[in-house]
Chains A and B, each alone.
Chain A
Amino acid sequence: MGAEFVQLSLPPIMIGICAAVACALPGNFLLLRRQALLGDAVSHVVLPGMVVAFLLTGALAPIAMMLGALVAALLAVVLIEAVRRWGNVEPGAAMGTVFTTLFAVGVLLLETTGASGVHLDVEHALMGNLESLIWFAASDWGSLLDPAALAGLPPELGRLALVLVAAVLYIAVLRRPLVAATFDEGFARATGQRPAAVGLGLVALAAAAAVTAFEAVGAIIVIAMFVVPPATARLLTDRLWTQVWLSAGLAALSAALGYILAGYGPLWLGGEHSVSAAGMIAVVSGLGLALAARLGPRRHRREALPLP
């Protein structure tokens, strides 16, 4: 566990943790607002956004890709709202309609424009490539204190850390309006807490987290982390902030444990190849949810209480 670990495993684990927590934090509120599918929607619509950005710039510049993805994500958010309002359908159906259509457009664009030859292929979009995010500049643990080596860290880590900080700040500063807007919108509006703006900000934050994480780790982790850690935490507590903290812890734990199990698990079992880290991270968090659903204290809600 020396130089090799620092070079090959530490950066992906850190990136996985940042991505997982950055998605899980807004995921708590999306889940409570019955918008949990939004992570799924956003992580699909970034594909056409990235393809269009690639076609426009002719290069795989990460900034252009992310801008394209973010624009597509925000466009999708607006379209979902439009379909929901004007089509008068439930939010889940509106999301399903918009994201499948836009994702399909992305697939067609990929196929017909020759963009499919590059690294931006569908498989990469789905599974990400966490294992490739290595730290060449590192020599051993001491590199963590060496500015020159730190500058060589994968740029994804910095971007995800930034989004993570933004998510923490947004939720910490707007915690009261967020709770009021989610629990009782009428009250929130009547008391001037601007629930619509707070909700839109949350969705934009979720879109930014999804796009950034998607680029680094792929759609599977993004979709899983928006929903699974918050849902697991919800089964373990009836206190909102306990749930939020728990979900962050569970997300980080699944990311670290999933990466290690994917990388070393098959070897421990006598296999020869590691398996997809993204897949294993999502599986680990899914198993956590299954455990909580089976054993969690909040499986039976709404038990009646005697009148005082």
Chain B
Amino acid sequence: MNALGRFPETLIPLDESPLAVHGLSAGYGGKPAVMDVDMTVIPGTLMAIVGPNGAGKSTLLKAVLGLVPRLAGEVAVFGEPFARARHRVAYVPQRASVDWDFPVRVIDVALMGLHRELGLLGRIRPHHRARAEAALERTGTLELADRQIGQLSGGQQQRVFLARALAQGADLVLLDEPFAGVDAATEAAIVRVLKSLRTEGRSVVCVHHDLGTVAEYFDRVLLLNRRPIDEGPTDLVLTDRNLQATYGGRLSARHLALVR
């Protein structure tokens, strides 16, 4: 791997990294879907995990969260095991993984971000509601607050999910394909929110599939095809050679031109 340009980053103490992954292999039934992943998230940056379908991008994210069994390796979240740093992490799952017919309103979904704080029986007080509403406001969905979640468009649902993550007040936000199947207005709204998180010093890791927007939206990228190909600042990592290695030589010159 080319150390140049990445050298200063490795000097960041690991216990200060929002997310540090070392030699991680993970998958169901003892069969690893991703292998030997090293990854370091720099505080206050937006990072993309990019790779072809079946590259294990979602699996990597889920393994960090303990949703997929880890077979080898280590994960440190703010220098601690995930279970102890859970309260500093927010997760936005893929839209397809959720039952959208469920009878909850948009505001109820945003309030789920406060479950931890509310505990089992804590009453929802005006300041809780105000925080949930502020999160909806930031994603431009406040006027939908009383709608049943299933009545929303896919993009609107995705924004409500992001609002729930915002309500959690997490320092590290992990998103699984937030731009999949959403409209242009939603994509712009999500990018705006992610950049505002960066301004606040929070960190974002995002499974992403659109090569054309990686450099525009993200500071750093991990290229993954079951194994890590390269990791670092987008402009250094998104080379023709790396992309060919990631996508198995299936990218045309036109694709490669699109990346930059």
Chain A residues within CB distance 8 Å of chain B: 32, 173-177, 179-180, 182-187, 189-193, 234, 237-240, 243, 301-305, 307-308
Contacts and interface: CB of A to CB of B under 8 A. Distances in A.
B121 interface: yes
Interface of B: 62, 65-67, 83, 86, 89, 91, 93, 97-99, 101-105, 108-109, 112, 115-116, 118, 120-121, 140-141, 143-144, 147-148, 150-153, 155-156, 164, 168, 183, 185
Given A186-B97, A190-B89, A193-B115, A32 B102 contact: yes
A176 B86 contact: no
Contact of B115 (A180, A189, A234, A304): A180
Given A302-B150, A307-B153, 16 more contacts: A176-B112, A176-B118, A183-B109, A185-B97, A190-B67, A190-B91, A191-B86, A192-B86, A234-B103, A238-B103, A239-B105, A240-B103, A301-B148, A302-B101, A304-B151, A304-B153
A303 B151 contact: yes
A295 to B, nearest CB: 18
Contacts of B67: 186, 189-190
Given A189-B67, A192-B83, A184 B152 contact: no
A209 B237 CA distance: 59
21 contacts: A32-B102, A32-B103, A179-B112, A180-B115, A183-B102, A183-B109, A183-B112, A187-B93, A191-B86, A192-B86, A193-B115, A238-B103, A238-B150, A240-B103, A240-B108, A301-B148, A303-B151, A305-B147, A305-B156, A307-B153, A307-B185
Given A182-B102, A307-B185, A191 B115 contact: yes
Q: Quick one: which of A175, A191, A240, A304 has the most chain B CB within 10 A?
A: A191
A304 B67 CA distance: 33
A243 B147 CA distance: 16
A304 to B, nearest CB: 7
A301 B105 contact: no
A71 to B, nearest CB: 30
Contact of B156 (A32, A176, A307): A307
Contact of A307 (B86, B112, B148, B183): B183
A308 B120 contact: no
B86 A186 contact: no
Contacts of B168: 191
Contact of B65 (A176, A184, A189): A189
Contacts of A193: 115
Contacts of A308: 140-141, 143-144, 156
Contacts of B89: 190
A145 B130 CA distance: 50
B103 A186 contact: no
B36 to A, nearest CB: 24
A182 B99 contact: yes
Contact of A187 (B108, B112, B156): B112
